Amino acid sequence: MATRSLGTVLKIGETASAVKVGGLTEIGGIELSADTLDTTTLDSDGGYRQFIGGFKDAGEVSLSGYLEITSTDGQKKMYDAFESGEEQSFAIEFPESIGAKWAFKGVVTGFSTGASLEDLISFGSTIKVSGKPTLTVKGE
């Protein structure tokens, strides 16, 4: 059943002390991909190329929304993480009706703010996922 995204949150920090990144209007998803290694030989069946799976990549998570920054807010923690360049813990928590959550480590690779004449002050950030993300589903 399709579910609205209302209530989806992104948190930064270890589970016990994680802080919600507020003001978000969009959280880009985890995008898993894998390289392939060509194992084709001159005697491959039917002249078709053959492959095996290679290294996997969890991509980037992009964030956008409205600037709501305070010294204790998740947006400030995103800025601090960008400046440090250190790997952080993150979680994308979907609404309770779905009961699913992504947990992952990542490095903040982008942080932006913007202002225009007829719009709210914007916030954006990008997280490069590091290592294997974990998808937890209700009932597991």
Q: Average of pLDDT values for 45-56?
A: 96
Q: Mapping DSSP to helix (H, G, I), strand (E, B) and coil, where does residue 139 land? A: coil
Report pTM. Answer: 0.91
Q: What sign has the CA pseudo-torsion 42, 45, 47, 48?
A: negative
Match 């980037």 to its residue by tokens.
60
Residue pLDDT, tens place only, 55-114 = 999 999 999 999 998 877 899 999 999 999 999 999 999 999 999 999 999 999 999 999
* CATH T-level fold of 9-34+51-137: Thrombin, subunit H (2.40.10)
Closest C-alpha among 5, 8, 6, 31 to residue 20: 8
Write out pLDDT tens, residues 6-38: 999 999 999 889 999 999 999 999 999 999 999
Where along the chain do its domains lie? 9-34+51-137
